[in-house]
Structure 1
Amino acid sequence: MKKLLVSLVLLLAVVSTTSAQNDKYTKAMESAIARVKYTAPTPELQQAAGQFEQIASAETAEWLSTYWASYTYILLAFKESDVARKDAMLDKAVDFYKKVAQQQPDNDETMVLAAQLAAARLSIDPENRWQQYVPEFEEAIAKAKQKNPENPRVYALQGQSLFYTPEQYGGGKAVACPVLKQAAEKFATFKPASTIHPSWGQDTNQYLLNQCGQ
């Protein structure tokens, strides 16, 4: 009986410690994620990226900190004007993406992240990069949609790509706006798995929908 009580006490201690560690991790993630918005100033995004890197180095078994680090560096690249610095930031984003892809290879959010990376690389020099990054983008979007057709970020990125593609190349508002509307419908019912799972994209999608007059 005494041994049983000791075992129970030890088990409860382990559970309590694990729970506290999980709470600390979640709160740290929530704090960093709150900073990650496209409209956020660059220094704030840089601070968030640093937070994610610190969390990722401490919590190597967790994939979400690595995911958010990659995504934040993509946002930083979009806000940067210097081409060399843009690519340098995307290099960092790719490094984190590769780790996510190893941990979550069959996750639709990993595929969406790959599409976002391809779109970011393409935006730097569309004329000279389309042959590589357009197929990469389309392949990643197709895989994500097949894996989870209810993921709103799939349609948001697809609509965004069409919105900024010239009409003569198959883009423009006429084809983009219905896809953006579909994304908005998906966002309306979407519920992330937790407060720290991917949840971005709705604000940008709505901004573009406003340009569509919707």
Structure 2
Amino acid sequence: MLKTKHYILMIVTLLSLSIHSQSNYEKGMEKAFSFWELGDINAAEQLFERIANAEPTEWLPNYYIAQINSLKSWEEKDATIIKAQLDKAQSYLDIAKSISKDNPEIMVLQAHIYTNWVVFDGAFYGMKYGATISELYENAFKIDPENPRVVFSKADWAYGSAQYFGQDTTPYCKEIKESLELFANFKPVSKFAPNWGLERAVQVLNECK
């Protein structure tokens, strides 16, 4: 009887610790997003790093660290800084991949990181990553063809490539327009799951017109 009570007490304690840990995770994620919304991207990144260290089975903190560093690199011109940012982005995205395999959201962000390199030096990285980027989008689309970030990013990459090579962009503009309907109906699978991309899709569609 005492052993049974001890076992039940141990289970209750473990459940309580799990709930407490999850509560801390949610509070931390909410705080990190609040920093981001206020424009303090460095504070958001630092908090996501602490959460990632504390919650080794959660892929999302690692994903957002990677995304922040990818976003930082878009406007950066210093080669040393870009390399540091994109190397960090890749490092954390690799962790996210190891936690959540065959995840289309991660595939899209991986394609974005490679695109960052192409934007930085198209002559070298276009040859290195161009086909890989297209393949990532194709694989993500096979897994989740209703995901608006997958559909838009795939079309946006094809649209940019068509522009670069002087080809007809009409079919890709059509796909971008279709992605807006997916954005309108999209429901994130969880509270902190990726839910970005609509504003960029609208912007690119306006450029198509």
User: Normalised by the shorter chain, which TM-score bucket?
Assistant: 0.7 to 0.9
What count of residue pairs does the alignment treat as equivalent?
Answer: 209
TM-score normalised over the length of structure 2 = 0.88
Residue 160 (structure 2) pairs with residue 159 (structure 1): no
> 1:53 and 2:46 equivalent?
no
Counterpart of 2:197?
201
Q: Does 1:74 align with 2:74?
A: no
The residue number in structure 1 matching 2:115 is 119
170-179 or 69-78, larger mean C-alpha shift: 170-179
Give 5+ residue unaligned stretches, structure 2.
none
Q: 1:3 offset after TM fit, Å?
A: 4.9
Asked if 1:210 corresponds to 2:206, the answer is: yes
CA positional deviation for 1:172: 6.4
Secondary structure at 1:149 match in 2: coil
Equivalent of 1:138 in 130, 134, 137:
134
The question of 1:30 aligning with 2:30 is answered yes
Change (3 A) 1:172 1:19: farther
Unmatched segments (≥5 aa) in structure 1: none
**Distance across 1 between alignment mates of 2:63 and 2:90:** 10
- State the TM-score, normalized to the length of structure 1: 0.86
- Rounded to whole Å, the distance in 1 between the matches of 2:191 and 2:64 is 13
Question: What is the match of residue 8 of structure 1?
Answer: 8
Distance in 2 of aligned mates of 1:49 and 1:158: 27
Residue 89 of structure 1 and its aligned partner are, at CA, apart by: 0.5
* Separation in 1, partners of 2:102, 2:161: 29
Counterpart Cα distance in 2 of 1:201 and 1:35: 19
The one-character-per-residue Cα deviations of 1:44-92 (angstroms, maximum 9, x if unpaired) are 2222111111111121222111111111110111132323312220011
| AA in 2 matched with 1:90 | L
Give the equivalent residue in structure 2 for 1:176.
Answer: 172
Cα RMSD between the aligned structures? 2.3
- Specify the code of the residue in structure 1 equivalent to 2:152: A
In 2, Cα distance between the equivalents of 1:173 and 1:141? 18
1:126-163 deviations in Å (ceiling 9; x for gaps): 23321111111101111111111111111221232234
